[in-house]
Amino acid sequence: MKRVVILGFAFLVLVIILGHAVNAHSQPKAVDPIIIGAPSAMGHPNVLSGWKALQMAAEEINAKGGILVGGVKRPIRLYMTDTRDAEPGIPVHDALLATEKLILERKPHAILLGPLRSEVLLSSMDLIAKYKVPFIASQSMVPLFQKKISDEYDKYKYCFRNSSNSIYLVMYLQGMMEFMKKEFGFNKVYIVVQDVLWAKGTGEVMQKWYKENGWEVVGFDSYATGATDFSPTLIKAGAQKAQVIMVQTDMPQAGILAKQAFDMKVPGLIVGQIVPVAAGNAWKTFGGALEGVIITQYEIGSPPAKAVPKSVDFVERFGKRWGEDAKNSMGALGTATAYDSLYILADAIERAGTLEPDALVRALEKTDMSGAVGRVRFDKTHQVVYGFDPKETAMECAFQWKKPGRRVVVFPEKIAEERIEVPLSMK
C-alpha cells in the first residue's frame, strides 16, 4: 500500500512537471510582445502629440488582447527614442545614431513615427534598408522620400508614409485658391514664406501656378527663421490691395504675423500654413486676433471633420485619454496619422500572419482601410494617397477661425461644414 501511494505521488509530480513543460513550450509566443520602435524629435509639439496618439492606439489594441499573429494574439510594446532632430544645431548623424541604437538594442519588428526633419528622414531610409525593418513615417513631408523608393524599390521597399507630403499640400492650396477665386472673385495674392527649403519651394511653385491661372502676384517675401516683425510685408500687402496673403511657415514666431495683421487692420484674407495658430488653443493664446484666418491643415483630426466620423471619434478619445489641454494643443501634422499608423501595421500583420519583414511589406502594400484621416491606401511609391473625398482617399483640410474661437472646416467642399467668411472690409 505504501508503495502504491509513493508511486501515485511520483506519478502526480511527473504529470505536473510535464504539464508545465508542455505549457511553457507551447505558449512562449503568446507572451512575446511585438516590439515597435518610435524614433523622433520628441521636443517638437507635433511629435509629442503623435507619440501620445501612438500610445493610445497601442493601449486600445492591447486592451483587446493585442495583434493576431499566426493564430496567437500578441501585445504591443512601444519603445520611444528622442532623435532631437527638431532642435537647432543637432547634426543629422546624431539623430541617425539614436535611431540605430534603438534598432540594435530593442530589435523592433517595425518602426513608426520617424524623424521630423526632411534630411534626417531621408538619411534614416538607409538605416531602415540596412536592418530591413518595416517603417511607416508620419512626421515629415519631403517628396524625395517617394522618389528614393521609386528609384531603388528593392532597397527602400520597407519605407512607407501615411502622413501627407508637400505635393499634396500644394494640391490643396491650389484647390483652395481655385475655390476662392470662383466663390469671391479673388485674383490678387501676396506670398509670404519662411526662408527654409520646404516653405520657399511651396511658395515658388504656388507663384508659378498663380501666374498661370489668372492671379496677380503683387508681392513675394521670405523671412528668416526667428523674424518677429512682419510690418514691411503687411504694409506692402495693404498698399497693393492684396485680397489673399498666402503664408507658409512653421516657426513659432509666425503667430506674430497673424496677430500683427489683425492689429494693423490689413484687409486681405490670410490663408496658408501658420503652424503656431493651427492648434485648438491658438484663439485663446492670441486673444481672439485670428478671426478670419484660414489654415490649410496637413491632415484632418486637428480639427476633426464631421464628414469623417472616425476623425471625430479619434479626437474625443484623445481628449479623454490625455486631457483637454493635450487635445487643444494637438499638432498640425502627425497626430491622427501616428494613430492610424499602428492600426495600418496591425492590419498588415494580421493579414500577413507573420512578422517577417518582406511579408509585412507585401501586406502593407495591399492596405485598404478606413482611418482617422479617411481612406488609407498606399500608392506605388509607398505614400498614402490624399485627395478631396474621404471615401476615396485620406484627407487634408482647410479651416477658418471664427468667433468665439471655433475652427470650422471650410474646404474641401465634400467635408466643409460652413462657408468661408470674408472680412467686412472686402465685401
Partner 1 sequence: MIRSVIVYGLVSSAVLALTAMGFSLTFGISGVANFAYGAFYILSGFLVWALLNYLKFPFVLAIVVTIGVVGGLGFVTYWSILLRVRGVVLSEVIATFALGVGILELFRWLGFVTYEFTLPSFIKGMVVIAGVPVDYQRLFIIGIALALVIFLYFFTHYTRIGLAFRGIAQNERTAISLGIKSDLTGALSLALGSAMASVAAIVILPLGIISINTGYEVLLIAVAVGIVGGLESVPGILVASLILGYAQVITGTYLKPEWMAVVYLAAIVLVLSIKPSGLFGKFKELEERV
- Interacting residues with partner 1 (CB under 8 A): 43-45, 48, 87-88, 195, 221-224, 226-233, 235-236, 238-239, 252-253, 255-256, 259-260, 263-265, 275-277, 279, 281-282, 284-287, 325, 328-329
CA distances from 115 to 43, 62, 163, 332 (A): 12, 25, 12, 15
Judged by beta carbon, residue 122 or residue 254, the one nearer partner 1 is: 254
Judged by beta carbon, residue 36 or residue 86, the one nearer partner 1 is: 86
Strand arrangement, sheet containing 394-395:
368-371, 374-377, 394-395, 386-387
Q: Which residues pair with 77 in a beta bridge?
A: 35
Shortest Cβ 55–partner 1 spacing (Å): 16
Shortest Cβ 270–partner 1 spacing (Å): 15
Which residue has cell 500683427?
260
Tell me the one-letter amino acid at 354: T
Q: Are 271 and 246 in contact (CB under 8 A)?
A: yes
Shortest Cβ 96–partner 1 spacing (Å): 21
Judged by beta carbon, residue 156 or residue 283, the one nearer partner 1 is: 283
Query: Could you say which DSSP state residue 383 is in?
Result: B
CA distance 136 to 369: 15
Shortest Cβ 368–partner 1 spacing (Å): 35
CA distance 70 to 128: 25
Shortest Cβ 42–partner 1 spacing (Å): 9
Judged by beta carbon, residue 264 or residue 312, the one nearer partner 1 is: 264
Judged by beta carbon, residue 65 or residue 226, the one nearer partner 1 is: 226
Which residue has cell 524629435?
41
Classify each residue of 184-203 as buried b or exposed e, where b means 16 or more C-beta atoms within 10 Å of its C-beta. eebebbbbbbbebebbebbb
Shortest Cβ 227–partner 1 spacing (Å): 7
Judged by beta carbon, residue 115 or residue 371, the one nearer partner 1 is: 115
Which residue has cell 523608393?
149
Judged by beta carbon, residue 75 or residue 288, the one nearer partner 1 is: 288
Residue 95 corresponds to which cell in the numbers above?
539623430
CA torsion through residues 304, 305, 306, 310, sign: negative
Shortest Cβ 305–partner 1 spacing (Å): 22
Going by C-beta distance under 8 Å and a sequence separation of 6 or more, which residues neighbour residue 276?
A: 251, 252, 253, 254, 255, 282, 285
What is the CA angle 229-271-425, rounded to 5? 85
Residue 133 corresponds to which cell in the numbers above?
525593418
Judged by beta carbon, residue 129 or residue 199, the one nearer partner 1 is: 199
CA distances from 219 to 191, 361, 418, 421 (A): 6, 46, 30, 24
Judged by beta carbon, residue 16 or residue 239, the one nearer partner 1 is: 239
Shortest Cβ 412–partner 1 spacing (Å): 26
Shortest Cβ 263–partner 1 spacing (Å): 4
